[in-house]
C-alpha cells in the first residue's frame, strides 16, 4: 500500500534567502518540519496533544540533497510522507518542488525517536502508529 502524501505550500520569504536571493540551505529543514506538522494535522494528530501526553518526537537524523535553488517570492510545495514506523522510531521523507512544476529542488528525510520528559525512548502508541501506517 502506498503511503499517504501530504502537500504544503510555502511562499519563500525574503528572510529565508541569502544575498543572492536564493534560499539558505538550513531553511529546507525548517520546511521539512512544517511539512511534517501539517502531515500530522492532516491525519488528525495535533503534535500539542502528543506533548500533553508527555511524549516528544526527537529528531535523531536529518538528511537533505539539494538539486536546484528556490528563490525569494516563489511558492514551493513540500510533499511529506511517513517512510517507516517502527517500535519507538519513525522516518519521514520529503520532496520540495516549485508550485506547478515537477522538478525536485530538494529531497530528504528526518528520523525521530519517541521519547518522554526524561529523554527515555518510548514505544509509539498504537493510535499514532495507526495514523502513520
What pLDDT, on a 0 to 100 scale, did the predictor assign at position 69?
Answer: 97
96-108: average pLDDT: 97
DSSP 43: T
Nearest to 53 by CA among 130, 133, 132, 124: 124
pTM of this prediction?
Answer: 0.93
Give the pLDDT score at 50: 86
3 pLDDT more than 80: no
The predicted-structure confidence for 48-93, as pLDDT tens digits, reads as follows 888 998 999 999 999 999 999 999 999 999 999 999 999 999 999 9
18, 46, 49, 116: which one is catalytic?
18
Residue 46 among the catalytic residues: no
Confidence (pLDDT) at 1: 61
Q: Enumerate domains of the chain plus CATH numbers.
A: 6-132 (3.10.129.10)
Sheet holding 75-85, edge to edge: 6-11, 75-85, 89-98, 104-115, 56-66
Amino acid at each position: 500500500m502506498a503511503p499517504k502524501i501530504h502537500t504544503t505550500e510555502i511562499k519563500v520569504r525574503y528572510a529565508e534567502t541569502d544575498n543572492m536571493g536564493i534560499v539558505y540551505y538550513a531553511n529546507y529543514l525548517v520546511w521539512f518540519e512544517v511539512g511534517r506538522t501539517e502531515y500530522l494535522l492532516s491525519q488528525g494528530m495535533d503534535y500539542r496533544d502528543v506533548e500533553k501526553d508527555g511524549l516528544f518526537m526527537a529528531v535523531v537524523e536529518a538528511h537533505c540533497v539539494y538539486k536546484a535553488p528556490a528563490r525569494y517570492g516563489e511558492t514551493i510545495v513540500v510533499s511529506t510522507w511517513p517512510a517507516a514506523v517502527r517500535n519507538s522510531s519513525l522516518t519521514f521523507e520529503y520532496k520540495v518542488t516549485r508550485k506547478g512544476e515537477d522538478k525536485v529542488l530538494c529531497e530528504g528525510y528526518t528520523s525521530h525517536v519517541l521519547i518522554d520528559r526524561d529523554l527515555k525512548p518510548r514505544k509509539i502508541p498504537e493510535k499514532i502508529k495507526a495514523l502513520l501506517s
